[in-house]
Amino acid sequence: MFAAGVAVAFASGAALVWLTLPRRWAAGAAIEPATLFHLALSNAVGIAVALAGWQLRRSRHRLRRGWERLDPLGQALSVAGVLVSAELVLAVMYWSTVGRGVDELGYLRAVFTLGGERNAPAVFSASQLAAAAAFAWGCWRLREAGVPRGASAWAASALACGYMAADELLMIHETVGHWSVAAGLVERAGAAVEIGTARVYAWTIVYFPLAVVVGSLLALGFRHQLPVGRFCLLGLAGVVYVAGAVGVENVQAHLKTGGVIDAGTFAARLFLFVEEMLEMLGVTLALFVFAWTYFERRDAVHGRPRSART
């Protein structure tokens, strides 16, 4: 982290110095303001990452001791706290950059656009889902021999979260939606498709029934694997996620195609914000449950680290 930050800061700083040399200005060299903006931004980010990496290196032993002294619930809460903090940063950056033109912010706005492809929110969402998959897989590997019923729910959750992580970056569900229209399963109505009097995104006709079936099967397994409180929290995570990914997104599609709201308006941006935040928070809740259970099982199998007992 420290080395990467130093490399970015050095490269962008050197480019800035070269482009702003007095002799280049005297020669009348044309320099796009957006180029200078992005180089300066890269330089600032590189310096910030380098400083953060340096501080983490200095504090790593103290941080490790503090981490090991936490019980499984405390460790899971720490993980969730980091994720929620990142979501707050993404929310602030979205509202700070949305609607700004290229002349104002260059292409910085595309980096924080919610619902975009391969930008900061998409990478965060994919990383969060990948982490949830890793914790679920860890719970499956540490499954309790005395509670075999429903243990396969952990492996199935890991696979589902892994697929969803890939979908965040590759937009697989959009492709499936296009195939359903091409196959004549539904009739297109602008950017959406018509199902009765409702207008929804095409992928919904495939993924919503699939989510209901898979979620129900996972619930049957987790009912035997989790305490009641944790089981209910995991159910809430699923409801929150589906409310954003299916509910809010398709209400927005219905209103947009019906001419009630227009793209680029505050209402459209608010719908997008609520949808994406609900999805992120739903995954965070599920990851919290998975992490809590994993840390408990890890300690039961391997015992607490020495520093945690002193």
This model's pTM is above 0.95:
no
Catalogue the long-range contacts made by 55-63 (C-beta closer than 8 Å, 24 or more residues apart).
56/1, 56/2, 57/2
Residues 162-211: pLDDT tens digits?
999 998 888 887 777 777 666 665 656 455 676 666 778 878 888 889 99
C-beta neighbour count of 27 within 10 angstroms: 8
Which residue would you say has higher pLDDT here, 281 or 104? 281
User: What is the predicted pLDDT for the residue at 243?
Assistant: 93
Q: How far apart are CA 214 and CA 230, in angstroms?
A: 19
C-beta neighbour count of 142 within 10 angstroms: 17
Average pLDDT score over residue span 61-89: 89
Of the ranges 58-62, 89-93, 105-109, which is most confident? 89-93
User: What is the predicted pLDDT for the residue at 309?
Assistant: 43
Average pLDDT score over residue span 71-99: 90
Is the pLDDT at 125 greater than 50, yes or no?
Answer: yes
Is the pLDDT at 102 greater than 60, yes or no?
Answer: no
Gyration radius of the chain over CA positions: 23
Give the residues across from 195 on adjacent strands.
198
Residues 4-17: pLDDT tens digits?
666 766 676 677 66
How, if at all, do strands 192-195 and 198-200 pair? antiparallel
Q: Which stretches does DSSP call E strand in 46-176? A: none
C-beta neighbour count of 271 within 10 angstroms: 19
- Domain ranges for the chain, please list them: 1-69, 72-309
Closest C-alpha among 192, 184, 204, 194 to residue 245 = 204
